[in-house]
Amino acid sequence: MKNKFICLICSLMILTWSQAQTLAVPVTYELSYSQAIKNLPGSPSPHHKVLILGSPHFDLSNNASDWKPKTEVDMLGSKKQLEIEQIVLQLKAFNPTRICIEWLPEMDSLFQKRYQDYLKGTWQLKAGEYYQVGFRLAKMMDHKKLFCIDNKPKQPESLLEIDDWEQYKAQQSEASEMATFDSLNERFNHYVDSVQYLMSLKNYLQFVNSEEMKAARKRIWFTGLVHAGNKSTYAGADLTGHWYQRNTRIFSNIKKLCAEPEERILVISGFGHASILEEMFKASQQFEVVPISSVLN
């Protein structure tokens, strides 16, 4: 009996030692994480190029933004007209096949009528960037038309239920944080507005399309106001989502214009859209985003 017990103990010790030796042997796998990333499927080379020109709205009467500059820059004056001509010449180097403007598709027939009249010399360009830059460049490129690509989604129900937005924000647990946000937002917009009177139009376009500016605008969207609401309303989050919904629809409208194998699309929009649209085009497998800094230099 004693010998059997000793044999059992020895067997267990040998088994334990054997398992320890097995665990000590390094395990070799066939694929590293970098190779797994490299082999990701579904990453074809992009077919189309897109250039996004984020612009201040030249015509304040058609500016539907929450923030409106205090003073309107005279884009029809001789100095700005010369600057616009130089910008259009630089944009020509992109060689766009289609030019998109920030207007609803329902306005397409009106804009095509105006463009045709402009080509005939029977309609004079107004101040809007879609005219001053879009129409001029389209004529220079011998384009037959421009494309209206904007969209205005319905407001979320959570926002329609709020009668007084300021009162609603004041009742939130994050009221002080949102007040800080509002103050920051006001200072930010005032600064962005004020510097345009100290810069050439090209320099201002370079400024509002810079990576630093786009990052700053995005930070504002995700600070303060986005948190307004409670676990049932999420009004601030819905407002932010509504802005993304609009831009996602604009992105979809632009994609639907790609009738040729390799399109070169110029998008002229308010600069608030630029960072989000650029983010979407970069995420798509079908587009290469051309930096505006490589054209306006």
User: Is 26 part of a structural domain of the chain?
Assistant: no
Is residue 12 assigned to a domain? no
237: phi then psi, degrees, rounded to nearest 5: -65, -40
Is residue 153, in this structure, part of any structural domain at all? yes
- What is the span of the domain harbouring residue 91? 49-294
Q: Can you give the pTM of this predicted structure?
A: 0.84
Angle at 81 between CA 76 and CA 87, to 5 degrees: 135
Answer yes or no: is 8 within a domain: no
Residue 16: its pLDDT value, please? 58
Per residue of the chain (297 residues), give pLDDT as tens.
555 555 555 555 555 555 555 555 567 888 899 998 888 887 677 889 999 999 999 987 655 555 556 677 899 999 999 999 999 999 999 999 999 999 999 999 999 999 999 999 999 999 999 999 999 999 999 999 999 999 999 988 887 888 887 777 777 666 777 777 888 889 999 999 999 999 999 999 999 999 999 999 888 888 877 887 777 788 888 999 999 999 999 999 999 999 999 999 999 999 999 999 999 999 998 999 999 999 998
pLDDT of residue 194: 92
The pLDDT of residue 60 is 79
**25 within a domain of the structure (yes/no):** no
- Sign, CA torsion 284/147/66/234: negative
In a domain? residue 262: yes
Dihedral angle, C-alpha 267, 272, 274, 276, nearest 10 °: -120
Per-residue 3-state assignment (H helix, E strand, C coil) for the chain: CHHHHHHHHHHHHHHHHHHHHHHHCCCCCCCCHHHHHHCCCCCCCCCEEEEEEEECCCCHHHCCCCCCCCCCCCCCCHHHHHHHHHHHHHHHCCCCCEEEECCCHHHHHHHHHHHHHHHHCCCCCCCCHHHHHHHHHHHHCCCCCCEECCCCCCCCHHHHCCCCHHHHHHCCCCHHHHHHHHHHHHHHHHHHHHHHHCCCHHHHHHHHCCHHHHHHHHHHHCCCHHHCCCCCCCHHHHHHHHHHHHHHHHHHHHHCCCCCCCCEEEEEEEHHHHHHHHHHHHHCCCEEECCHHHCCC
State residue 145's pLDDT score: 97
Six token digits for residue 173: 């647990």
d(CA 71, CA 255): 36
Q: What is the pLDDT of residue 222?
A: 86
Overall number of domains in the chain: 1
Q: Are 147 and 106 in contact (CB under 8 A)?
A: no
Spatial neighbors of 104 by CB under 8 A, at least 6 apart, are 148, 150, 151, 152
The alpha carbon torsion through 195, 200, 201, 205 (nearest 10 deg) reads -60
Hey, how many other C-beta atoms are within 10 angstroms of the C-beta on 17? Answer: 10
Q: Does 13 reside within a domain?
A: no
Position 282 in a domain? yes
